Chains A and B, each alone.
Chain A
Amino acid sequence: MAMLSRVADNLYWMARYLERAEQSARLLSVNLNLMIERASDSAPDHWQRVLEALWMAGSDGETAGVDEASLRDLVFARERYTSIFGCIAAARHNARQVREEISAEMWECINRLYLRLRGTDPTRVGATQLFDFLHSVVEALNLVRGTMDGTMSHGEGWRFIQVGQHIERAMAAARLLDVYLVPAESADGTAPPARNFLDWVGLLNSCSAFEPYCKSYARGIEARGILEFLLLNAEFPHSIRYCIDRVQNNLGDIAVAAGQRAGRSQRLAGRLQAQLNFGHVDDIMSGDLGAYLSSIEQQCTEIHDAIFQSYILYSLDDALIA
């Protein structure tokens, strides 16, 4: 029998939450590390940018500032889905509902990570240990992904996971580029775009792209190269183009597995894929970069909606006629 719609839903969201946790953990650990080398007066701007990248900046423009306690909240807060713990808990909750679909080893990886986070007393993780802690979370999430790829059949379920993971990753990358590269329209409350070397390093490292970037761009670290690399590179797994390629390919295979129900989601993904495949960084930079990046986020949301309409939340009347 084909995959249950609910199962596809759970697998897709499990992947998105795992990816989100990884993005947050990477971003926070990279920035904790950077702050060691920075003057303390640049700290508010710096953290403001991090919060914006996490969609967590204060809505009314106030700069909440980040101290040790609020930083720990970003990692450990239990009641919200935005903290790293919240993401892992949500991923586990989804995984738990589809234990018959994922491998036992993969479940154990997720469950162990969840239990470790739940068992950690945040007040006992000082600023210095936090970096190591976040690092170990990223490591554990890599283990989850490796175990998944190595122990799960690469069938329909795995493909829904791939789609979820890469949509989330593409959206996070678009958001990061937006926060770092696009000048704010109004000055108050939003951090200024990145200008200096450490900012660029922070951006690249947040996508684990520093060394791959340096290999590709011998001319040095500057905005144009970074944008091209994180947006249009065909081979780097955190570039938006790479992610959309994965989304498009996997949606194609899902459509085959599910019979005739291809259509809208695949067309939308294909359109975005073409835009990235044939785009040029100079054209993009000379235009409205902010609008371009928002449009990518917007298209990802549309792909998401189309997937749900085709495979998960379709109306029963249509299905009975078919």
Chain B
Amino acid sequence: MAKALTKQQKRSRTAEAELAFAAPSEPRRQPFDGYGLGEPYDEMFGRDSRQRPQYQILHERLQELGPDELLQRQQRADLSFLNQGITFTVYGQQESTERVMPTDLLPRILTAREWATIEAGLTQRIQALNLFLKDIYNEGKILADGVIPRELVYSAQHYRREMRELAVPRDVYVAVCGSDLVRLPDGSFAVLEDNLRVPSGVSYMLANREVMKHVFPELFRNYAVQPISQYCQALLATLRQLAPAGRADPTIVVLTPGIFNSAYFEHAFLARQMGIQLVEGSDLVVHNNVVYARTTAGLRRVDVIYRRVDDDFVDPLAFRAQSRLGVPGLFNAYRAGNVGIANSIGTGVADDKAVYAYVPKMIRYYLDADAILPNIETYLLHEEKQCQHVLENLDKLVVKAVGESGGYGMLIGPHSTPRQREEFRRAILANPRNYIAQPTLALSRAPAFCDGAIEPRHVDLRPFVLFGGDRTTVVPGGLTRVALRRGSLVVNSSQGGGSKDTWVLGA
């Protein structure tokens, strides 16, 4: 395997490729020329530079196709996304806020064995998290037993006192979860964070697969890829379980903040795939603690809401008063048991990045088991010793605000400027509870097709978990997010990341 190319070399290679195009007898440039291995785990190649068995067919096929054909297929895929309007919105920019989700052409492949571990780990985790939420909003045993500090939970930004002693249908607090996994240099997976409020990305997972089937039909014939298209029906079944008692044929809706939300495409996509209505707050009214939709035939009762609106905005009477995205009175209807809401309110306390550090203890406490998927080592900054250590090593660590998501409010030490570090130092000292720190991870890398060549890029994995009380479903796959900028460790789509189709092979 050659070392990374200099720019100069690369340019001459491009020239070579053009030449090859003109005169086919010349030796062609190979797609993997210039692909370098480093310290991080590589998804395709082992330490001995040989491709892993599950990647053999893909690797061969890529060699056969060559860069020009790959480029054509990439363009086909991009065009398909653009025409379908598979876009997301970037906040904080004035113009052209609607962008196509960048997709990488090369699938990421997981073996059935790797998947079995992930599935078991996630199943265990969502059970424990739901038990934890039920516990802290009711008796609070885990707090009384001193397993998790009481003040840590009560000071969490997303803790909702209003949820105390509220009967949640089937004790399902988190019905839909998207946990972010990373692969460490030894090849094992660990959980980087849980998304328990309104996780997004599942539509990209599904859309990626559809586009890949068109772009690489021949590969699907050679690989037994497990299907994922059942996700939406599984989601619908999960939501149906949350209907109030006695509502035999419940009306289920998706609640979106509207067309300007970054994930609007996904909200519409899910509603379409489930065959249910996509509603905005202004489409719903609450009367006598019952939720109705304004329809052309008058008001019609709504039984379950899959809400994609944050807690704060769900109901201006219960939470943020100036919100116009929500439905006045919705929370009281929920409290009265007249409507099911997924995810429930106040679930964010469990994905607070400081509370996250205690999830393995939760699993031990509630399920009497070891965590199958470990956590990433996390420094809690409200503990003086750990805080001291972090402040001394800001240039080596990653610091995150505990209540943020989407890659906002984050410091990546090795890539930061002294000024950024100083800002974070001050912010940490002002409110240590608001931050955690983790070692800078060598996220695994996977081959990605960038600018006409295949290069390694850092990836993570967000599988989607559905929890309906007695049953947990993890569709085999997930969204592999890829940091398309060379060397970048940030995979969030809001920060220049893209995605890949993720194939889980049959046993």
Docked CA distance A314–B296 (Å) = 9
| Size band of the interface chain B makes with A | 20 to 34
What CA separation (Å) do A278 and B259 show in the bound complex?
46
Given the known interface contacts A5-B295, A312-B296, the answer about A96 and B287 at a Cβ–Cβ threshold of 8 Å is: no
- Which residues of chain B in 290-308 are interfacial with respect to chain A, using CB atoms and an 8 Å cutoff? 293-300
Interface residues on A, range: 20 to 34
Within 8 A of A (CB), among B413-450: none
Min Cβ gap B286→A in Å is 11
A2 and B295 in contact, given A96-B259, A100-B278 (Cβ under 8 angstroms): yes
Chain B residues near A314 (CB-CB < 8 A) = 298
Is B46 in contact with chain A by the CB < 8 A criterion? Answer: no
CB neighbors of B among A1-27 (8 A): 1-8
- Judge if B386 is at the interface, Cβ distance under 8 Å: no
Distance between Cα atoms of A261 and B258 in the complex (Å): 28
CA distance A258 to B264 in the complex (A): 28
Contacts of A316 in B (CB 8 A): 285, 294, 299
Q: A311 and B296: CB pair below 8 A?
A: yes
Q: How far is the CA of A96 from the CA of B261 in the complex (A)?
A: 12
Residues in A neighbouring B85, C-beta threshold 8 A: 96, 99, 107-108, 111
B339 at the interface (CB under 8 A from A): no
With a cutoff of 8 Å between Cβ atoms, the chain A residues found around residue B10 in the complex are: none
- In B176-211, the 8 Å CB interface with A consists of none
> A104 CB to closest chain B CB, in angstroms?
7
The yes or no answer to A322 lying at the interface (CB within 8 A) is yes
A80 CB within 8 Å of chain B: no
B501 to chain A, nearest CB (A): 19
Smallest CB–CB gap between A6 and chain B, Å?
Answer: 5
A112 at the interface (CB under 8 A from B): yes
Query: Do residues B277 and A93 form an inter-chain contact, with CB atoms below 8 A?
Result: no
Is B12 in contact with chain A by the CB < 8 A criterion? no
Query: Is A5 a contact of B251 with CB atoms below 8 Å?
Result: no
| Interface contact A1-B280, CB-CB below 8 Å | no
Candidates B83, B268, B293; contact of A4 at CB < 8 Å: B293
Q: State whether the Cβ of A285 lies closer than 8 Å to any Cβ in chain B.
A: no
Nearest Cβ distance between residue B341 and chain A, in whole angstroms? 18
The CA-CA distance from A156 to B296 in the complex, in Å, is 9
Shortest beta-carbon distance, A266 to chain B, in Å? Answer: 13
Q: Given A96-B259, A99-B272, are A5 and B283 neighbors across the interface (CB < 8 Å)?
A: yes
* Residue of A115, A257, A320 with most chain B CB atoms under a 10 A cut-off: A320
Q: Shortest CB–CB separation between residue B32 and chain A, in angstroms?
A: 34
A111:B83 contact, CB within 8 angstroms? yes
Whether A108 touches B296, Cβ cut-off 8 Å, given contacts A1-B251, A4-B283, A100-B272, is no
Q: Which residues of A contact B82 (CB under 8 A)?
A: 115
Q: For the complex, is B279 an interface residue (Cβ under 8 Å from A)?
A: yes
A298 to chain B: which residues have CB within 8 Å? Answer: none
Q: Please indicate the chain A residues that have their CB under 8 angstroms from the CB of B271 in the complex.
A: 100
- Which of the listed residues A4, A8, A107 has the most CB atoms from chain B within 10 Å of its own CB? A4
| B299 contact set on A, CB distance < 8 A | 316, 319-320
A254 on the B face (CB < 8 A): yes
In the complex the two chains form, what is the Cα distance from A125 to B243 in whole Å?
A: 57
A258 touching B84 by the CB < 8 A rule? Answer: no
Specify the chain B residue showing the minimal Cβ separation from A95: B85
Please judge, given known A-B contacts A6-B280, A96-B259, whether A319 and B296 are in contact too, CB under 8 Å: no
Contact A258 B280 (CB under 8 A): no
B84 in contact with A4 (CB, 8 Å) = no
Determine the distance from Cα of A24 to Cα of B255 in the docked complex, in whole angstroms. Answer: 37
Is the beta-carbon distance between B296 and A2 smaller than 8 angstroms? yes
A81-105, CB under 8 A of B: which get 1 and which 0?
A: 0000000000001001111100010
Cα–Cα distance between A55 and B345 once the two chains are bound (Å): 51
Residue of A nearest to B273 (CB): A100
CB distance from A63 to the nearest CB of B (A): 36
Please indicate the chain B residues that have their CB under 8 angstroms from the CB of A3 in the complex.
Answer: 295-297
Q: Is there an interface contact between B298 and A6, defined as CB atoms closer than 8 Å? A: no
* Known A4-B279, A8-B296, A100-B277; further 9 A-B contacts with Cβ < 8 A: A1-B251, A1-B300, A4-B296, A5-B294, A5-B296, A7-B277, A104-B272, A111-B85, A319-B299
Query: Can you give 17 A-B contacts (C-beta < 8 A)?
Result: A2-B295, A2-B296, A5-B294, A93-B259, A96-B85, A96-B268, A97-B259, A99-B85, A254-B296, A257-B297, A258-B298, A259-B298, A261-B298, A311-B296, A312-B296, A316-B299, A320-B299
